[in-house]
């Protein structure tokens, strides 16, 4: 399962993500991971979630590297049940709706194979969402 939360900056996407992470910690039987650029969520998310600043690992920020990073996380911990990604455009350092379709499709296939759920926020006007993105709303 892949769910996208999309909207212009200031519409409450991150607040919604924080709430979803904190609920997942209490409801899910496995590990919850949240990936972001920077440490903005450090004091907002309960300590039980694994909060990862993608920039602290020396990776070039790209869609392919994000996917490889997710695969590596799971390879190191099969108990992960939910991965949250805050502000996908910042995490991959690109604002390309068609490129986002690619990562969402990869994450969906990964989810089907492993059972890991994904929730992703995208800071952009919903009018800019392609059909490939809209199917994840």
Has residue 96 got a pLDDT over 90? no
Q: pLDDT digits over 12-50, tens only?
A: 999 999 999 999 999 999 999 999 999 999 999 999 999
DSSP lists the bridge partners of residue 51 as 34
CA–CA distance from 49 to each of 25, 57, 125 (Å)? 7, 18, 29
Task: Identify the band that residue 59 occupies on the pLDDT scale cut at 50, 70 and 90.
Answer: confident
Task: Identify the band that residue 92 occupies on the pLDDT scale cut at 50, 70 and 90.
Answer: very high
Is domain 2-134 in CATH 3.40.50.300, yes or no? yes
Nearest to 31 by CA among 99, 72, 77: 77
Q: Where are the domains of the chain?
A: 2-134
């Amino acid at each position: 399962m892949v769910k996208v939360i999309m909207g212009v900056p200031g519409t409450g996407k991150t607040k919604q993500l924080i709430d979803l992470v904190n609920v997942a910690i209490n409801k899910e039987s496995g590990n919850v991971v949240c990936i972001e650029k920077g440490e903005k969520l450090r004091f907002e998310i309960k300590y039980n979630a694994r909060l990862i600043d993608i920039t602290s690992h020396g990776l070039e920020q790209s869609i392919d590297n994000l996917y490889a990073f997710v695969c590596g996380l799971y390879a190191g911990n099969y108990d992960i049940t939910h991965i949250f990604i805050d502000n996908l455009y910042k995490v991959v350092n690109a604002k390309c709706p068609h490129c986002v379709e690619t990562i969402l499709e990869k994450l969906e296939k990964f989810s089907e194979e492993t059972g890991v759920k994904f929730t992703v926020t995208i800071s952009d006007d919903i009018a800019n969402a392609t059909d490939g993105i809209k199917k994840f709303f």
